[in-house]
Amino acid sequence: MQSAWGKLWLVGLLWAGLFGLFAQQALWGHILSALFPSAQTPLFDRETLLSLSLQHLGITVAAGLLVILIGLPLAIFATRPLGAAFRPLLESSVAIGQTFPPVAVLVLALPIFGFGSTGAVLALFLYGLLPVVRGGLEAFSALPADVLEAASGMGYSPTQRLWRVEFPLALPVLLAGIRASLVLILATATVAPLVGGGGLGTPIVAGLAVSNLGFVTEGAVSVALLALLTDWTLTRLEAVLTPWRS
């Protein structure tokens, strides 16, 4: 347990280092100029890379929170006797949500929400719902029946059994689904600038529009670094929250 908490200090240091790297505009300019000497402006300079990365994380966190706050209760409800009939509809609905390309959802949301991050958050929410809901359904459905019967035999109410027995046992699978969803949302958030949502997709979209590989590389590398560190961070958090698995 102490080792897991110790690794969280390392997580903080790595995030500070990554944000420090994003703040080094001059360094990025030198590197991109060396890689793409033919480009007149290889560095996207309308906004700083640090500002774009914070916008990107803001969109990701907003969509991720919606996924967790809506997806987990839906999965819990569908695994209760009252909601068992609702489960096939839920599984089909979240699968359809990921079938639609995020760009298509952005276009459909544009007349309703207009330009800005709201439509992007909605599209990413629909796209990231499947891993959390499917993970929740599998986690609560696979719990040992004898353990659940023992909890009921000890006098636990359904609510007490859910929070004291089922939720701790299902936590590793739930966390894995949340991690997959957040990394998926973060990577897909590069489409947000298409509706004025901002984020690290801005230099990518701008670079594709003017055939500037420097802009595209700047955005793509930054998103990749964020995705890798986010995945590693959530893996460390899983180890802290589920120490019995170590």
Average pLDDT, the chain: 88
Count other Cβ atoms within 10 Å, centred on residue 54. 16
pLDDT tens track for 146-157: 888 898 888 888
Domain spans of the chain, in order of start: 2-245
Q: What CA–CA distance (Å, rounded) separates 155 from 168?
A: 18
What value does the mean pLDDT take over residues 195-219? 91
Is residue 3 predicted with pLDDT exceeding 70?
Answer: no
Where b means 16+ CB within 10 Å and e means fewer, 4-30 reads beebeeebeeeeeebeeebeeeeebbe
Is 0.75 topped by the overall pTM?
A: yes
pLDDT score of 5: 57
Fold of 2-245: MetI-like fold (1.10.3720)
Contact indicator for 148, 80 with CB cutoff of 8 Å: no
DSSP string, 138-171: HHHHTS-HHHHHHHHHTT--HHHHIIIIIHHHHH
